[in-house]
Structures are given as structure tokens and as C-alpha cells.
Amino acid sequence: MKIKIGDKVKFLNETGGGIVTSIVNKKMVNVADADGFEVPALISHLVVVEEGNVYDLHEELEVDLKEEEIEFPEREIEIVEEGPKGPVYVEGNDEPNSLLALVPENGLNPVEGEIKAYLVNDSNCYLLYHYAHLKNEKYATVQAGKLAPNTKMLLESFNQFDLSDFPELVFQLIPFKEEANQLVIPYRKDISINPVKFYKTSSYRTNDYFHEASMIFSLTENPLNSAVDNLSEKDFKELVQEKERAARPKSSKEKKMPQNLELIEVDLHIHELISDSKGLSNKEILEIQVEKFRSELEAAKKSGACKIVFIHGVGNGRLRSEIRRILDREYKYLYYQDASFREYGYGATMVTLKKKRK
């Protein structure tokens, strides 16, 4: 659809209309109503009642997806080029380091304009990448290709209408050098973002890759290191407690539980349940954890135990929500609550293995 600033339009799905005051992107414009209030509107939901000069959105708003050299503020780097159009190398930047950056056009109100998604290759490696959306258990490829060392690429843009049904972002990455003594392992990274984060300015931080504050996700970092870097003080305390418990000798309580046991602890973190979770989707991991929850709950009921604590961690809250949904639907006669904050932080649910009093 062709539209221009100054066109008089009507809304298809509701009464009223107004004048187009600005073009937000190729899907959306701002419309000022009769009272002068400006509101965003999808172009597909508008009809032009008075045409003016033609404005072709697809021509004017075409996005340039060419690679750009990264600017590293406050970094002293030595650049060595191989030929007039050769790759750019940075001294000491040999380890694979790839990132997803979500950069808002409007830093004060991030969802007012577009949020651009960039793939950043901050290393002296080439990068083979595959970027996809995961929705309804299906992967939809957005882009795939090869990224030169120390470059960044625009993957796509999101607007506020995309956030209500935001997909899981999935990356498959293979860093490599033209000559190397050994090959680098491939990486896979699944990123689930709560849409609420896009509305909070605190989600966007200053960084070395963009002048604008951005939401940054590491794609090739060791998962444990990445988790530690993003821990709050409370999360870190919880992690230390979990590690201390893991360091203790394994008891046989999960294999053979004595009668009249006061309290049973079951750790549902995936690394406690299987030796290697590489290659498993988030859905498959959740299924393993839920199956463990069900079997341990049934075993605890038969053992005569009084209470059972399921350690699920904080994470994105999916496992905690699923556990409580099952308890509400299938075990209405059991009482549950958050386990002791002093011992578990926000990362555990305690179930009392006695029927609720009527």
C-alpha cells in the first residue's frame, strides 16, 4: 500500500481517522485525530480517503543489510587488512565472541520506534550463522550466511506490534579461521525474552558496539560464565547454596527413601538429571524435568515423607509455572508454597504431602 505524510485516512477496524503525520516503518504510521492526538496505526488497518503525492514505503524504507565495521569506543586496537577489501583483524581478539544486540531507535521510549536486531562478530574468526524464529514448535529461518571478522550485520527489526507474540530466537553458529591448528566447536543459542523487558529502559545498557544503549546477549560464551555474569546478589547466593549442596556426597534418598522421612529435596536442574543436554530443545528439557517432578512426587507420597522440596531455580519461570499448574490441576488436595527463602531464594517450591484441611 502506498501512503504519504499528509494523507487523510480512516480506520478500518474502528470509527474515526485523521491525518498521517509521520512514517514509523513500512508497517506503521502515526495518525493525528481531530483533537490533535497522535496515535500509531498499522498501514493495513487504514484506508486513504484523500490521496496526495505518492509515497512508496517499500522503496523509501528498504533496509540495507550490508556488513558494517564495528566501532569500539575507548579501545586502542591495531587493524591489519588483507588486501583493499580484506577482513579486519584486531590484536588479541582471537577467541570466538558473537553477540545478539537489540538496539532501540528511541532510547527514552524503546517501543515507540523500531528495535533493530544485530548479529555482532567481535572476533578474528569468520562466522557461519543460521538465525531462526521458533514458534509453535516450528523453526522459521530468517537469515543464514557468513559474517567476516569484527563486523556486525542487521538481522531484522521489530516494532511494538511484534512484541505481543514474540518468538524464541534461535542461533546456530560455527566460528572458523582460514588457517587454524584445531576446529572450534559449533554453538547453539536459544533466546527467550519476556516482552515486558522491551518496555523497561533498564534492560538496555551502554556497550562497546553501539552508541545507543542496547540489550546484549552472548551467543558463544560458556553458558556457566554467562549465567554468573547476569546473576543478581540474591541469585548468586542461591547458586552458591546449590553448589554447596551438590558438593556433598550423594545420598540414596532419591533411590530408596526411608519411611517417615521429614523432608526430601529434589533438584530439577537439567544438569542434575542427565549427563549432557546439548542438542535438546527447551521443550524437550522441560519435558524431562516435569517427568522427574511427577515420578519423585509419587514416590514421596508412597514413602510416608511429610514434605518434598523441588529445586527449579529462577530462570524464565517456565518450570516453576508448569509444576504449579500440575499441582493445581491434578493434586488439588496437596498444599504447596515457596520454599524457605533463606535456603533456596526464589528457586524452590515445597509441597506438603498431606491433604488440605476442609
Three-state secondary structure call for residue 103: strand
In a domain, 315, yes or no: yes
Residues 112 and 241 in one domain: no
What is the number of structural domains in the chain?
A: 3
Cell for 97?
A: 565472541
Residue with cell 502515526: 30
Domain boundary among 228, 252, 281: 228
Cell for 166?
A: 514474540
Q: Using alpha carbons, select from 323, 316, 319, 305 the residue that is nearest to residue 265.
A: 305
The answer to whether 153 and 68 have CB atoms below 8 angstroms apart is yes
Residues 90 and 203 in one domain: yes
pTM given for the model:
0.46
Residues 33 and 53 in one domain: yes
For residue 242, the model assigns a pLDDT of 63
Q: Please give the residue range of the domain that contains residue 15.
A: 8-60
The answer to whether 293 and 282 have CB atoms below 8 angstroms apart is no
Encode the chain (358 residues) as per-residue pLDDT tens digits.
577 888 888 877 667 788 888 777 777 788 887 777 777 777 877 888 876 543 333 333 333 434 444 444 444 333 333 334 578 888 888 899 999 999 999 888 888 889 999 999 999 999 999 999 998 889 999 999 999 999 999 999 998 888 878 899 999 999 999 888 888 889 999 999 988 888 888 889 998 889 899 999 999 875 544 444 455 555 555 655 665 555 554 443 444 444 446 789 999 988 889 888 777 888 888 999 999 999 999 988 888 888 999 998 877 788 999 999 999 999 988 999 998 887 877 789 999 987 555 4
Cell for 255?
A: 533411590
Q: Could you tell me the sign of the dihedral formed by the alpha carbons of 251, 256, 257, 263, in that order?
A: positive
Residues 280 and 212 in one domain: no
In a domain, 1, yes or no: no
Domain boundary among 201, 228, 255: 228
Q: Which CATH number goes with the domain that contains 335?
A: 3.30.1370.110
Q: Distance (Å, rounded) from C-alpha 176 to C-alpha 88?
A: 15
In a domain, 2, yes or no: no
How is the chain split among helix, strand and coil, in percent rounded to 5? 25, 35, 45
The answer to whether 352 and 262 have CB atoms below 8 angstroms apart is no
In a domain, 339, yes or no: yes
Domain boundary among 228, 250, 277: 228
In a domain, 53, yes or no: yes
For residue 58, the model assigns a pLDDT of 37
Q: Residue 175: what residue type? A: P
Residue with cell 521458533: 134
CA dihedral 292, 298, 304, 305 (to 10 degrees): 30
Residues 80 and 122 in one domain: yes
Give the residues across from 134 on adjacent strands.
Answer: 139, 168
Residues 136 and 192 in one domain: yes
Residues 267 and 126 in one domain: no
In a domain, 84, yes or no: yes
